[in-house]
Amino acid sequence: MDKKFDLLTFGQALLRLSPVRDDRLVRGETLIRQVGGAELNVAVGASLLGLKTGVITKLPSHEMGAYIKNTIRSYGISDDYIIYDNGKDARVGIYFYEHGAYPRKPNVIYDRKNSCFENININEFKDDMYKSTTCFHTTGITLALCKNSRETAIEMIKKFKENGSIISFDVNFRANLWTGDEARQTIERILPFVDIFFCSEDTARLTFDKSGDVKDIMKSFTQEYPISIVASTQRVVHSPKVHDFGSVIYNAYQDEFYTEEPYKSIDVVDRIGSGDAYIAGALYGLLHYRLDCRKAIAYGNAYSAVKNTIPGDVPSSNLNDIDNIIADHNMTEGYRSEMNR
């Protein structure tokens, strides 16, 4: 943890445009602009918890890229490895998001193709970047977006690994980007380098053809690949506005599973990015507490639970906020205030 960064993440940054809460994409003149992207969300969360964090991405040099850069900076994240595209057609990926209310589901429309991120090139980054971080994180989305981002990501994983970084990877399977077969074949190329592996039970079954109970599945990855930690989140969706959230983590060295009482009846304001917040919390626990999976579970679950209450993709809670939530979650008796004041 004495490198320049504790965590670097690599992926596309997106603009999200949403109608004013409860209204629909098909109507209305006002849209709310927010910044997101699976890997960026992880970086924001990790930075708010106190890790030295940076993002590796590519943005247009015009005002829409500057908006994203400024937002990233405002969360205390380094922009040292952001590449700018001056091309006159340089664009940032966009997605449109509509909140749900039972029986209406949340709805996403992607317009992320042909962003300048797809022109990213391994040669745009200098070699010292690979020595600068304790941990490197990316996701299946980056592998799926286009050939260019896929090969760049794989190359980066290898170079960071060579330079001693811990490699963290989230499958984050999206059926609208690739098929299960494509995902499996590609991910198998990088699993030999992965140290910390995030994969949900459903994805493991559908994409990797795993069977057995969730613990069998988690353990099986560590038997096939030199993975140290596997984490699986468990979300129960009662309605678009009420979820439960918990997770299981497996430590292959210790051959031990960790879990805790899930958060029940979360007041969901915005569920986007809550999976990424889990990863931010879990990586904080693992990196700050020498792979202590109890800490990873506690920070991961709390961070994901509270992210569901925050409008937008990125988390907004700092270490103090999360520590208070964990303390409340673990409290079994005594006076529990209903308000911070």
- Give the Cα separation of 218 and 197 in Å (integer): 9
User: Measured from the CB of residue 225, what is the shortest distance to a second copy in angstroms?
Assistant: 26
- Asked whether the CA dihedral 91, 95, 96, 97 is positive or negative, the reply is negative
User: Measured from the CB of residue 253, what is the shortest distance to a second copy in angstroms?
Assistant: 31
One residue of 80, 105, 211, 256 binding a second copy per CB under 8 A: 105
Binding mask 316-335 for a second copy (x = CB under 8 A): xxx--x--xx--xx-----x
SS3 assignment, position 236: strand
Where in 190-249 is the site for a second copy (CB under 8 A)?
202, 235, 237, 239-241
- Give the Cα separation of 193 and 309 in Å (integer): 35
Among the listed ranges 83-91, 135-143, 178-186, 278-286, the one in contact with a second copy (CB under 8 A) is 83-91
One residue of 2, 88, 128, 223 binding a second copy per CB under 8 A: 88
Where in 45-74 is the site for a second copy (CB under 8 A)?
62-64, 66-67, 70-71, 73-74
Tell me: does residue 29 bind a second copy (CB under 8 A).
yes
- Closest to 103 in 3D by CA, of 237, 236, 269, 239: 239
- Give the Cα separation of 88 and 223 in Å (integer): 49
One residue of 84, 110, 225, 257 binding a second copy per CB under 8 A: 110
One residue of 1, 24, 50, 188 binding a second copy per CB under 8 A: 24
Where in 158-187 is the site for a second copy (CB under 8 A)?
174, 176
Task: Give the end-to-end CA distance of the chain in Å, rounded to a whole number.
Answer: 35
- Nearest 5 degrees, angle CA 254-CA 256-CA 260? 135
Contact 96, 118 (CB under 8 A): no
Contact 49, 80 (CB under 8 A): no
Binding mask 121-160 for a second copy (x = CB under 8 A): ----------------------------------------
Tell me: does residue 306 bind a second copy (CB under 8 A).
yes
Structure tokens at 252: 């292959």
- Give the Cα separation of 217 and 200 in Å (integer): 10
Residues touching a second copy, count (CB under 8 A): 82
